A and B are shown apart, each in its own frame.
Chain A
Amino acid sequence: MSLENVTTLGAAEVGPATDSQQPPGRLWLSTFARNRLAVIGLVVIVALLLFSFVGPLFYHTDQIHTRLAMETLPPGKGRPLGTDDVGYDELGRLMVGGQTMLEVAFGAAALAVVLGVLWGAVAGYVGGFIDGLMMRIVDALLAIPALLLLLFLATVFRPSVPILILVVGVTAWLVPARLIRAEALSLRSREYVLAAKTMGVRAPTIIFRHIITNSIGTILVNATFQIADAILVVAALSFLGLGIAPPATNWGAMLSDGLNFTYSGFWWLTYPPGVAIVLTVLAFNVVGDGLRDAFGLDSKHG
């Protein structure tokens, strides 16, 4: 879905990635902390998490029962962002929608990174024919637009939060697989890996202890971008009406509802969820950029 993927393709295809010069110890943390934009991004992420998960504890609204007498009221006293077309309070809805949004995004990104790291590390470490076959499978899956695949999967499985995590996760692991495979290709000829091999350490141990541990910067950076991507994908899927069933919602579904009222000028139904999506994705992208600089990875390590 994202082009961040494409940015990485050329580098992965031309050969092993140049080794990442990771600053030792906690140096990357202080580099990151000095990047003002990235820190702001992190603050925004924390604020969004608090807004979505802690907010409803302070701002009580009924997000289960519709109240048709209260539909599409403009913002006013007691309803800072107005109400939607079935009478839900829009601000409260934004919080509930944020919960499912962030749950799916974190879950799908975690699944994609775990799958991709294992696949890429094994392919890169084993090499040869197996590597070629594993990477061609990745190529084949990358050729299928994720949104089409998701359309198909979303009609086969009834979407819920766990199903969405699964569906988005299994379509998103390809980029981390390519990145980690490139890392593994360069790491497997390192002296300490060769030494471990000579001492008879088994391949799974080497993969976990040396290959994956030493790619941690790339993994962390990619995971951050994966969350941003997952939010866009889930929002798109929900916008197309294949997301999550009411009364549950997310920001994409809210935008989809709001689209019908653009002509009526009900701006409070489209701009708040839209701004929420952009703000969240932007925050994760900025933090990802910051982490990438902190780990000293070049821009092709998206």
Chain B
Amino acid sequence: MIRFLLRRCAQAVVVLLLVSVIVFCLLHLLPGGPARAILGVHATPTAVAAFNRENGLEGPLPVQYWHWLTGVLSGNLGFSYVQNESVASLLGQRLPKTAFLAGISVVLAVLIAVPVGFYQAVRRHRAGDYILTTVTLVLYSTPAFWVAIILIDVFAVRLHVVPAEAPQGSFSEVLSDPHALVLPVLTITLVTVAAFSRYIRSSVLDELAQEYVRMARSKGAGSRVILFGHVLRNAAGPVVTLLGLSLPFIVSGTLITEYVFNYPGVGLLAFNAATSQDYPVILGVVIVVAAATVVGSLLADITHAVLDPRVRTAAGIA
């Protein structure tokens, strides 16, 4: 187990370093480099030189990279010249709101998708499975923004039960307006349920085909015991892995949802940054989300290994 832990952590560090190299490359992919991107195309060469000197953008690329990396590690994610605020403080204000929105939606999605996926797998090739498979497949093929538009059209425009705009302001103000949170949460939940239940259905089907199920059945164990005693525990592993790995997917869905409902989270921040060419902010969001994803999948793998000893030994191959 210790060997597995060390190995997996070392891998995560390598991946994080590679993420930093990729983001650094993106920064230098900007036309004319970061200085031109921030100061504008009409900046004088002296201004560019002064900017570069101030921000450690002089010298060979490895030196610049080292300077940038040490800055990022000490929490300096750059400065937004558009909003005149540091990227770290912008993220600090908005991350809790996004984490809250995505968190509730994912918890709801798991609570719905696990029973649905189980039901489908157990009733495979019967009417219930076909109906649910069709519904989830259609939902899975539907872009998040169209789900949002339909929800707005039906619940806000036609039925007038909930507002179409998400709550605004600080984190506590967002919390105090649960009515306005209904549609954004529902959007992310629906899209996530569609993806999760498909995955859970196929993992449970895999488990049901295992020998231990046949063994238990031949011992005379009832289907209730098999399902809740054996399969549920074994299928928990894939669910944990799924949660760890689906963070980028959830972030993408959340970004779109925040845009449609004007929810003041990280997604909207990234979108506004993209339209106003505020590169430090986009790249700051990229770093934070990527780091969260790497750590998330590390935690998921460790949990999975705790739940299922087979993973510890098998991971030696990969």
Q: What residues make up the interface of A, taking CB atoms closer than 8 Å to B?
A: 1-3, 5-7, 9-10, 12-16, 136-137, 139-149, 151-152, 154-156, 228, 232, 235-236, 239-242, 252, 255-256, 258-259, 262-263, 265, 267, 270, 274, 277-278, 281-282, 285-286, 298-300
Contacts and interface: CB of A to CB of B under 8 A. Distances in A.
A3 B195 contact: yes
A121 B146 CA distance: 37
A143 B291 CA distance: 8
A239 B145 contact: yes
9 contacts: A6-B246, A12-B318, A140-B21, A141-B22, A144-B22, A145-B255, A148-B285, A259-B149, A278-B146
A16 B317 contact: yes
B142 interface: yes
Nearest to A155: B274
Given A144-B286, A156-B30, A3 B249 contact: yes
A143 to B, nearest CB: 4
Contact of B255 (A147, A156, A274, A278): A147
Contact of A152 (B26, B143, B248): B26
A15 B26 CA distance: 32
A140 B270 contact: no
B145 A139 contact: no
Nearest to B20: A140
Contacts of A10: 238, 241, 245
Nearest to A14: B314
Given A146-B252, A228-B141, A152 B279 contact: yes
Given A140-B19, A142-B248, A151 B271 contact: yes
Interface string B1-45: 000000000010011101101100010011100000000000000
Main secondary structure of the interface of B (DSSP, over half): helix
Contacts of A154: 274
A256 to B, nearest CB: 8
Mostly, the A contact residues are helix
Interface size class of B (residues with CB under 8 A): 35 or more
Interface stretch (B59-67, B69-77, B150-158, B217-225): B150-158
B289 interface: yes
Contact of B260 (A5, A146, A259, A285): A259
A3 B11 contact: no
B137 interface: yes
Interface in B277-318: 277, 279, 282-283, 285-286, 289-291, 293-294, 297, 311, 314-315, 317-318
B245 A9 contact: yes
A145 B289 contact: yes
Contacts of B138: 278, 282
Contacts of B242: 3, 6
Nearest to A131: B318
B202 interface: yes
A6 B143 contact: no
A143 B256 contact: no
Given A2-B249, A10-B238, A16-B317, A282 B260 contact: no
Residue picked from B22, B195, B274, most chain A C-beta under 10 Å: B274
A278 B145 CA distance: 12
B100 interface: no
Interface string B242-272: 1001111101100110011000000000110
Interface string B115-142: 0000000000000000000000110111
B275 interface: yes
Nearest to B18: A140
B199 interface: yes
Contact of B15 (A16, A136, A298): A136
Contact of B31 (A147, A156, A282): A156
B87 interface: no
